[in-house]
Structure 1
Amino acid sequence: MITWKKLPQTEQQLRIEKALKENVDFTHDISLGYPGSRLDGEVFRNDVPFLKDAPLLQTYVSNPNHIGCHTFGASESAFSGTQEMEREVLKIIAVDIFKAETNGYDGYIAPGGTEANIQAIWMYRNHFINDCEAKLDEIAIIASEDTHYSIPKAANLLMLDWHAVPVDFETRAIDKAQLDNIVASAKANGKKFFIAVSNMGTTMFGSIDNPVDYITVLEKHQLTYKLHIDAAYGGFVYPFTNSASAISFQNPKISSITIDAHKMLQAPYGTGIFICRKGLIENVLTKEAEYVEGMDLTLCGSRSGTNAVAVWMILFTYGAFGWCEKVRILQMRTDWLCNALDALNIRYFRDPFMNIVTIHARYIPKEMEKKYDLVPQKHDKTNQWYKIVIMNHVEVDHLSTFIADLKSTRYAEKRAATEV
C-alpha cells in the first residue's frame, strides 16, 4: 500500500485541525459571498468543551461544502483544507485498493451508492452522445436481475432502456446464453452503445458478477460499451478476502467503480464513493454553474465535507493491515454460520469471499423474520429468500442463538411430518 497507513488519534486530530484552519472560518473570517455558514449556533453550539477532543464533530459544526470534483481542475478555495483530505481518501481507494494509476482517476465522495451509480450511467450516456454521436435510443444499460434498484432508477431518469439478465436461482451467476440472446436482440433493435453494470456484491446475495461475461458478449457482437463495477457493498470486502481478484482498474476494460462507505466501512449514512478513469467525468460538466469556483461535475452539487473526513478517519485508524484483520474476523463468523446451516441441511447462497448469507425462505418461520430482523428479497407472499449480513455488531453468540431457534423449528417440522 502506498498511501494507506495507520495513524494514531493524536496525529489524526492534528491533521483535521490543520485542514479546518485552511478552510474558511465562518466564525472569525469576513465571508460575505457564501450562501452558507457554520451550523446554527443556537442549536449546534461550538463552545462546548467536548468538541476539543472530537475532530469529526468540529468538522460537522464548521460545515465545509465540497461542491464540485476535487480531482479535476480548480475547486472552491474556501474549503481547500478538507478537500485535500477527500483527495487522500480517493487516492487510497483508487490506487491502493483498486489499482488505478496514480493521477489516472477522477472521483468524489457522493451522498450514497445510488447517486454514484447514476453518476456513472449519466457520464457514459453523455460520453456516447458527445464522442460517438450516439442517439439516445441507441444507448442501453445491461445488468443482472440481481442488480441494485439504482440502475433501473438511472434508466428512468436518463431515458435509457435497461435490459435485465437472468441469473441461476441457486448460484446467482449470470446466464451467459441469455446474456448473448439479450444483447443480440437489442442490437437487432438498433442498440449500438451499451453501459454494462457488473456487481461486486449484490445487495441481496453478495454475489459477484464476472465482468468478463459482459466483455466477451459485447465484443463478440462488435458493440461499443463502457463497463461500470457496482461495488457499493463488496468494495471494502472482496478485494481483501480474494487476493486473486481481477476486478480492478488493472483490467483496462473497467472504467468506473462505485463503493459505499456507509456499509462495511461504518461511515455515517449518506457516504458513497465514485471513481472513474481520467477523461470521462468532464462529460457531466454543468457549464451553467458559473459562480462555482472550478467545475461542477457531480450530480448532487453541494455536499458535506464532513463525510470525507469521517472516511479519512476510519481508513487511517485501521490502516491496510488492520482493515484486512477486521474483514477476516467477519469472514470467520460467516464461515461459522454456514457450517451450522450445513449441519442442519439448510440451503443457502453465499459467495465464499463475502459476508452475506441468503437462506431459502421456506426454512424461516415468519416469527423468526421479525425476531432477528431478517431482510426478505420481497415484502410479499412471493418471497423466496432471507438474508443475513455479518456486520461488526453481529457476533457468534447472536448467530448461535439464531441457529438454536432454527434447529428447534426444524425438529418440530420433522416431528409434525412423522406424526402425519
Structure 2
Amino acid sequence: MNQAVPVAASVADVFRIDRFARADEELLDQLDEFIAAMRAQKPYVLGYPGNLDFDYRRLGGLLGILSNNVGDPGSYEYPAAGSKAMERAVVEFMTQLANGDPYETYGYVASGGTEANQFGLDRGCTLLPAAKIYCSAAAHYSIRKNARLMRKPLVVIPSDYTGRMDVDALAHQCRQEHGRGAVVVATIGTTMTGAIDDVGAIAAAAAHAGEVYIHADAALSGLILPFTPWRNTWGFGHRDVGSIAISAHKLLGMPVPCALALCRWEFVDPQVEGEYVGVTDATLGCSRSGLASALIWYSLARKGATGLARNAHQALDTAEYAAGRLDEAGLHPILLSASITVTFDRPDEWICHKYHLATEGDRAHIVTVPHVTESVIDEMCLDIIGSRP
C-alpha cells in the first residue's frame, strides 16, 4: 500500500501549534515571511494554470464577516447570511459565455473543478444509472477520483498524440455496452497539452451504447473559448452537453480555488433539504463559500466580457510567443489551436524547479495565464540554452 509522504520535520516545526497561545506579533511575522516568499515566486510559476495576476486586498472587509451560501443560489435560506445574489449574477453571466440560456440552466459556485466535475457526473449517472463513465487517458485525474468515490465503473479511452480522445476507441467500447447508455467526459483543455475533445464526434461514437450524457470539463479553457472562433459552438452550444465545469482561479485569478458547476435545468431536481434552514438544495456542498462568490462577482463585474476577452487574447498571444522562443531554443514545442498550454522537451531538473514546470515523461509544459510574461519566458529559454554542455 502506498504511504503518504510525511512533511519534512524542519518545515512542520516552523508552523507547529503548541498547547499555549503564541504572540500575535510572532505569528504575523511568520505570515509576512510566507506571503513574501509566495510573491517572490509569482513571476516564475509557469507550469500550473493558476493566474496570479490579481489583488483583492481592497476587499479585506470580506474577511471580517461570514458569508455562507447554503443550498441553491435561487433558494432563500432563513439565516440569509450569504452572497447568493452575487452568485446568481455570476451563474447567469457564465451561462451566457457557455452558450446556455440562463432560464434553462442551473448552476452554483463550487469549491473547485473536482466538485464541479463530480456534480456533472452525478447528474449524468442519475439520468443513466446503468451507464459507465468514459473519459480519455488525458482527462484530469479528478475524473478517476470522482468515479471511485461514486463507486461507478470508469472506462479510460486512449488519446491521440495531441491529447484528444480517440473516438474510434470510444465507439468500440460503447458497442459492447449497447442499451446501457454512456456518461462521457469531454475535456475542454487537457492538463498536459490543452487539447480540446471533439464533442460532436464523441456524441456520435458514444451513441452505440444508447442514450448519451456528456459532461464538459472546461476547467482550463472555459474562459478562453468564448473569445475564439469556437465561441458560438462550445459548451451548451452542443445539444449533447448536459453539464460544464469552469474553474475561476485558473484564467480569472482568485486567492482561493473555486469553480462554476453548470447544468441544464432538465437534469436537476432540487429538493427541500435541511428544514431548519428552509432551502432547496441540489448542490454537492451544502454550506458553500460566499466569499468565493463575492470575489468572482467583483472580478467579472470589474472586467466585463471585454476585459475577459483581453485576458484570453493576451494569454493566447503569450503562448504563441513562448512557442516561437522555445522553437528557437530547439525544444520542439507543440501549441494546439485555441490553447494556452505549450509543451516542449523537458529541461534540467533545476530549471523545472525554478520555473515550476509541470512535467510528464520527457516533456514539460507552461501555461500562459495572464501573470506569465514574455520576459520570464526569455529568461527561461536563456537558462535552458546556458545549461547545455
TM-score normalised to structure 1 length: 0.75
* 2:371 paired residue number: 393
**SS of 2:222's equivalent?**
helix
Report the CA distance between 1:193 and its aligned residue.
2.3
* 1:333 paired residue number: 318
Whole-angstrom CA distance in 2 between matches of 1:398 and 1:211: 35
2:240 is matched with which residue: 239, 253, 259? 253
Whole-angstrom CA distance in 2 between matches of 1:90 and 1:395: 31
**SS of 1:70's equivalent?**
coil
CA pair 245-145 structure 1, distance change in 2 beyond 3 A:
farther
> Residues 70 and 108 of structure 1 are in contact (CA less than 8 Å); yes or no, is this contact kept in structure 2?
yes
1:158 is matched with which residue: 140, 150, 154? 150
Alignment of 1:13-32 (within 5 A): none
Whole-angstrom CA distance in 2 between matches of 1:316 and 1:244: 20
CA pair 84-115 structure 1, distance change in 2 beyond 3 A:
same
Q: Kindly provide the CA deviation profile for residues 276-326 of structure 1, in whole angstroms up to 9, marking residues without a partner as x.
A: 11122227x4x6533231212111111121110100110111111122112
Report the CA distance between 1:81 and its aligned residue.
6.8
Report the CA distance between 1:263 and its aligned residue.
1.1
CA pair 317-244 structure 1, distance change in 2 beyond 3 A:
closer
Report the CA distance between 1:182 and its aligned residue.
1.9
1:173 and 2:164 matched: yes
1:226 and 2:226 matched: no
2:202 maps to amino acid? Y
CA RMSD of aligned residues (A): 2.3
CA pair 67-55 structure 1, distance change in 2 beyond 3 A:
farther
2:257 maps to amino acid? G
Report the CA distance between 1:77 and its aligned residue.
4.4
1:208 maps to amino acid? I
Whole-angstrom CA distance in 2 between matches of 1:175 and 1:218: 12
> Residues 207 and 350 of structure 1 are in contact (CA less than 8 Å); yes or no, is this contact kept in structure 2?
no
> Residues 196 and 226 of structure 1 are in contact (CA less than 8 Å); yes or no, is this contact kept in structure 2?
yes
Whole-angstrom CA distance in 1 between matches of 2:77 and 2:345: 51
1:404 and 2:382 matched: yes
1:146 is matched with which residue: 133, 138, 151? 138
**SS of 1:307's equivalent?**
helix
Whole-angstrom CA distance in 1 between matches of 2:318 and 2:209: 45
Alignment of 1:210-225 (within 5 A): 210-219=198-207, 221=208, 223-225=210-212
Q: Kindly provide the CA deviation profile for residues 138-166 of structure 1, in whole angstroms up to 9, marking residues without a partner as x.
A: 32001111111111111111111111111
Whole-angstrom CA distance in 1 between matches of 2:93 and 2:288: 20
Report the CA distance between 1:250 and its aligned residue.
2.5
1:201 is matched with which residue: 186, 189, 193? 189
1:366 maps to amino acid? E
**SS of 1:126's equivalent?**
helix
CA pair 396-181 structure 1, distance change in 2 beyond 3 A:
same
CA pair 402-146 structure 1, distance change in 2 beyond 3 A:
same
Report the CA distance between 1:368 and its aligned residue.
1.5
CA pair 247-199 structure 1, distance change in 2 beyond 3 A:
same
> Residues 238 and 353 of structure 1 are in contact (CA less than 8 Å); yes or no, is this contact kept in structure 2?
yes
1:56 and 2:48 matched: no
Whole-angstrom CA distance in 1 between matches of 2:78 and 2:290: 13
Report the CA distance between 1:55 and its aligned residue.
6.6
Whole-angstrom CA distance in 2 between matches of 1:209 and 1:245: 16
Query: Identity over aligned residues, as a percent?
Result: 27
- Extract unaligned runs of 5+ from structure 1: 1-41, 43-52, 129-133, 378-382, 413-420
Report the CA distance between 1:59 and its aligned residue.
2.8
CA pair 244-112 structure 1, distance change in 2 beyond 3 A:
closer
* 2:359 paired residue number: 376
* 1:343 paired residue number: 328
Report the CA distance between 1:342 and its aligned residue.
2.3
1:408 maps to amino acid? G
Whole-angstrom CA distance in 1 between matches of 2:363 and 2:269: 41
- Extract unaligned runs of 5+ from structure 2: 1-23, 25-55
Whole-angstrom CA distance in 1 between matches of 2:240 and 2:82: 34
How many residues align? The count is: 336
1:302 is matched with which residue: 269, 277, 287? 287
More contact order relative to length (CA 8 Å, sep ≥ 6): 2
> Residues 200 and 238 of structure 2 are in contact (CA less than 8 Å); yes or no, is this contact kept in structure 1?
no
> Residues 248 and 254 of structure 1 are in contact (CA less than 8 Å); yes or no, is this contact kept in structure 2?
yes
CA pair 295-268 structure 1, distance change in 2 beyond 3 A:
same
1:68 and 2:71 matched: yes
1:398 maps to amino acid? V
